[in-house]
Structure 1
Amino acid sequence: MSLIVMKFGGSSVGDPERMKRVAKRISERKQEGHQCVVVVSAMGDTTDDLIDLTKQICTTTPPAREMDMLLSTGEQVSVALLSMAIHSLGCSAVSFTGWQAGMYTEDVHGKARITDIQPERILKALDNDKIVIVAGFQGMTGEGEITTLGRGGSDTTAVALAAAIKADVCEIFTDVDGVYSTDPRIVRVARKLNEISYDEMLELANLGAAVLHPRAVEYAKNYNVPLVVRSSFNHNEGTKVKEEAVMEQGLAVRGIAYDKNVARISILGVEEKVGQLAKVFTALAKEQIDVDIIVQSGVMNGAADFSFTVSLSDKDKALQVIEGIRSTVGFREVTSQENLVKVSIVGAGMVSTPGVAAKMFEVISELGLSINMVSTSEIKTSCVIDGSRLIEVIQALHTAYGLDTDSQVFVGGPSERR
């Protein structure tokens, strides 16, 4: 008998029929003799619907605390219904909210990080032979305030719980058969990876691959949680995410990711003084704004220009922060650019294979596109380019690196949520 954590996203439980299918799958695992802890997201478009309600009620930005109170209700509906569905199949189940499950977070609303897990109620329910259903995406501060974990929060909940209760495996169920060499909705001949290393998966997740959230992969790597990504629509073998993965012969690049949530901000004519960059990025960090690629030009006439990327959703806030420090930094102007995309290649074999990045630059240039910004590490290269021809770029890179297969991928349904 093994202890399994299973996570199902919004599309997997998007309607009553899918909910019952998931309940049947969980019940079958229980009947095989396994202990099961299940983490569930809100059903289908529930979260988007709740956000739309706030727009009808509020003319200004709603308080972050109240948004967490509202959005956490979506998962509570899911866990209760799934528990009822499992009961109807003759198995005993109990549902917990994030705070009932002992999920403690920092005091940040909207994108809190987990600080501690006290899983005593979960372990007691397992000892009583129950299937445990836990609401993903949510937790509680030490002062009893409800928080949400932000995008990918249910993945993070599942992996963190698996680490806390020392589960034998954490299975992430999604709408495709596993991790692919790129988005199978763009490249239908994408290659399914039988296994991938934590480091490669973390890079892909950070660079836009939506199949797993970066924080979930970080937890898995830090606590050595065996992770499997598989489809909720069939019983095919998934992709194992592990410490070291076998690299397919001749494939230096294992995956291609993209991120459309990109904005470029340029600060022009910055006075050449010690500590200028520190002032800018410290101010952004205080407002919880993540900065990605940074490029600085040479100094001319005592001033320099530099550019950086942020999430498109953070662009307006970042511009406000920069204008707020104009008097202390001193610059001529600040500009921004949208309609961009960050395209990245990832592979552990890149470190020992010359010419990998050069091929990427060549492919993009042959399509007549300019590269605005570049970022590299040992196992990835990212380019920020115009977003209007994303599909062409992804398809061309996929072919150039020998990742195409002979058969097309079956994509089971809409993209998972949270």
Structure 2
Amino acid sequence: MKKPLIVQKFGGTSVGSVENIQKVAKHIIEAKDDGNQVLVVVSAMAGETNRLVDLAQQIDSVPNARELDVLLSAGEQISMALLAMTLNKLGYAARSLTGGQAKIVTDEKHNNATIEDIDTQGIRTLLDQEQIVIVAGFQGVNRNGDITTLGRGGSDTTAVTLAGYLGARECQIFTDVDGIYTCDPKIVHQAKKLSTIDFLSMEEMAKRGAKVLHLPSVKYAQKHNVPLRVLSTFKNSSKGSFVTGQQAPDGICGIALQDEMQLIEIDSTLIASLLAQCHMLGIAIWNTIESKNTTQFVVKYADYIKLKLTLSEKEHTASLVNLITVVGSMKEVSEDKIRAILSENGVKIIFYTLNIRSFTVAIRPEEVDKVANILHDIYIDSAVVIER
């Protein structure tokens, strides 16, 4: 009988040093010794992608997108080779593959590509030969053979998509935290770990800035019903958090944070052409606020750098903001209550938006810790956290 397949993904902190890579190898060997086929996806070592981006920007503040992908793809290749060396030395046959060697085909969009297809025949052959297959995350090739990358956090999407194509029993995402929390525990010390969370709530958390999972990976897992678990590389006893279920129950599931955002105000008559420019550059608009003569919109700061030349004299004002979002059923959320409580605590809300699954406030970056703890206290600590 064919052995079940486990896909394991290890993030940058997990492979951030030779010592940590040896810890990663133990997780892989444990899964292999339990009678599974094992496919591993790795990120670049912690800080490596930022180092490579910095090198590129020393040459050009807005680097050529194709060449930037060629450069950034090197980070994951370092990790995969070191891990394969470690496993082979420990007596376990392992083979590393780049995105191109793994036959991961993407669209043409450099720096933020989407996986379109994976030819898994070569991977299946290696797995059937009892080899541990290690794939570089975050990358693929387009149909012209050019290297592409999937955007920050894209290794999650590589792992989940491979798990779906290969019919894995489970896709395990290993990080430096032991699961999915109701908020970033580094900011909200009372944040609670969720044993389970449904796909819809997890998607909204990821969409609103929670960095534990890459948004496209959650969407793919939901669409193809890929069993998804978030675990810690450094806590062997933890079962982590399981993402499952297609129905979102009532209640609040968490507080999501998004930093380094830029709020830009321009003349309303110019917004249509600017939105077209954003579409051409692949820049996501997070929020748009209309007023009488001007329009405000929010983009990531890195995208704002790309837009600066286009904005030129069109730009009225630009300022850094952070977004904090209450995620879950909005039945119990009162925008008047949130505004009143934050005002009482001396917090100025720059703007807010409300939809069926989230309430977002934009604030000054220096107020993030205070606001996150206030909202967590209101909607998490004083209520029952939703879990399936």
Q: Same fold (TM over 0.5)?
A: yes
Which among 296, 300, 319 is matched to residue 311 of structure 1? 300
Q: Deviations over 1:106-142 (max 9, x none)?
A: 1222221111111111111111111111000111111
Q: Which has the higher contact order (CA 8 A, sep 6+)?
A: 1
Deviation readout 1:285-338 (Å, 9 max, x if unpaired): 12212111111124xxxxx22211111112243343345xx8xxxxxx532332
Distance 1:3 1:213 in 2: 22
Would the aligned equivalents of 2:49 and 2:75 in 1 still touch at CA under 8 Å? yes
* Structure 1 vs Structure 2 CA RMSD: 2.0
Within-5 A mapping of 1:235-246: 235=236, 236-244=238-246
Cα distance in 2, alignment partners of residues 338 and 36 from structure 1: 47
For structure 1, which runs of at least 5 residues remain unmatched after alignment? Answer: 299-303, 327-332, 406-418
Deviations 1:211-231 (A, max 9, x none): 111111111111111111111
Contact 1:229 1:238 in 2 (8 A): yes
**Percent identical across equivalent pairs?**
40
- Give the aligned partner of residue 267 of structure 1: 266
Report which stretch shifted further, 89-98 or 26-35. 89-98
Q: Could you tell me how far apart the structure 1 residues matched to 2:201 and 2:178 are?
A: 18
Q: Deviation of residue 4 (structure 1)?
A: 0.9
Matching of residue 290 in structure 1 with residue 278 in structure 2: no
Question: Which residue number in structure 2 is paired with residue 367 of structure 1?
Answer: 345
- Are 2:322 and 1:344 aligned? no
Q: In structure 2, how many angstroms separate the alpha carbons of the residues matched to 1:322 and 1:36?
A: 49
Counterpart-to-counterpart distance in 1, 2:302 and 2:132: 38
Residues paired across the two proteins, number: 380
SS at match of 1:98: coil
Partner of 1:97: 98
1:150-199 per-position Cα deviation (integer Å, ceiling 9, x unaligned) = 10110110111111111111110011110001000011221001111111
Aligned to 1:398: 376
| TM-aligned CA deviation for residue 366 of structure 1 | 1.8
Deviation at 1:59, TM superposition (A): 5.2
Gap change, CA 1:34 and 1:358, over 3 Å in 2 = farther
Partner of 1:27: 29
Indicate how the Cα distance of structure 1 residues 246 and 147 shifts in structure 2: closer, same or farther if over 3 A, else same.
closer
2:182 matches 1:181:
yes
Q: Is the 8 A contact 1:293 1:374 kept in 2?
A: no
1:13 counterpart = 2:15: yes
Tell me, in whole angstroms, the C-alpha distance in 1 between the residues paired with 2:373 and 2:188. Answer: 6
- Tell whether 2:3 aligns with 1:4: no
- Pick closer, same or farther for the CA change 1:354–1:21 going to 2, 3 Å: closer
User: Which residue of structure 2 lines up, in the alignment, with residue 410 of structure 1?
Assistant: none
Name stretches of at least 5 consecutive residues in structure 2 with no aligned partner: 384-388
TM-score, L = length of structure 2? 0.92
Task: Report the residue type matching 1:254 in the other structure.
Answer: C
**Structure 2 letter corresponding to 1:150:** G
Residues 83-122 of structure 1: pairs in structure 2 closer than 5 A? 83-122=84-123
TM-score, length of structure 1 as denominator length: 0.86
Greater Rg, structure 1 or structure 2?
1
Q: Deviations over 1:23-63 (max 9, x none)?
A: 1110111010011110001122222222333345x256432
Q: Measure the CA separation in 1 of the matches of 2:38 and 2:247.
A: 27
Letter in 1 for 2:14: S
2:354 to 364, 376, 379: 376
Alignment CA distance shift 1:339-1:61 (3 Å): closer
